[in-house]
Amino acid sequence: MRWFWIDRFVEFESGKHATSIKTVSLAEEQNHDHFPGVPIMPNSLIIEGLAQTAGMLAAELGGWKERVVLAKLAKAVFHFPAVAGDRLTYRATLDDYSKTGAIASTTAHVDGELQAEAQMFFAHVDETFAGKSLFKAGQMYDMVRTWGVFEVGKAADGSRLMPTESLIHDGEEI
């Protein structure tokens, strides 16, 4: 993944739900280029932030063994634009999980007001997909650590969420 569309996680409960935040800033180039003269956060990037939040839930539930990619956006509704200074609070709930994928319900709020809602379908893709790795060594672990998942994460039994052996491959954290 090249771009992070969330700043950090503030809540993460294994297999259930997660909350992350993203502060919209005038310093971000995409907010100026989307509609020249009207700096708003593009809805497609809000979808990506929601997908990153929900995707981490699915990836963790699978023990970080497979990469999780957004396969289908079943529904997306935007109630108002996100503008510079807004703090988007992304919430994701895992509705279903299987070996092949996951379904999540997601919302974005600004100051407690519903900004967007979407239902997403994710596919699980292992390293053998198309014969090549989807991520460089260390990239997945770096994302999880940068976003603070282990700082706020809770395992299904309520204990602190910890990195698993699946994040370590051939002596390298992945």
- The DSSP output letter for 106 is E
Closest by alpha carbon to 127, among 69, 55, 171? 69
Distance CA 58, CA 16 (A): 9
Dihedral angle over CA of 113, 23, 120, 104, nearest 10: -70
Active site residues: 34
| Distance from the first to the final alpha carbon of the chain | 13
